[in-house]
Amino acid sequence: MNPLTRYRLMETGIQTLKTVLVEEAAKRPGRTVEQWTTAEVNAMWAAARDFAEQHGLRVPLLADVVRVERQACGHCDYGSKWALYVTGLMMAAKPVAV
């Protein structure tokens, strides 16, 4: 993949995931912390899965989405960091089937 195509795909992935996260975060009122954190992780993973499948990228594991969410915690741009890290998981080389 040429660098410009890779850059555009990365930016599109980040924006897609940020949109999903904002939409899911809007549903926080009335939910417990456990409910909304679970819902947001599941929404991010589902969006990443769909985006990866549509673009021939690696589908990240749910555990990896949780792991990079923990890395994004504490950043002033938490949502952007999480979207960036999940997109990075998708852009990583796909494992070769043996």
What is residue 97's predicted lDDT score, i.e. its pLDDT?
A: 54
The alpha-helical segments, DSSP class H, found in the chain are 3-25, 33-55, 62-72, 78-91
Q: What is the pTM of this model?
A: 0.91
Confidence band (pLDDT; 50, 70, 90) for 96?
low
In this predicted structure, what is the pLDDT of residue 93? 72
Whether 5 has a pLDDT exceeding 70, the answer reads: yes
pLDDT, average across residues 59-78: 95
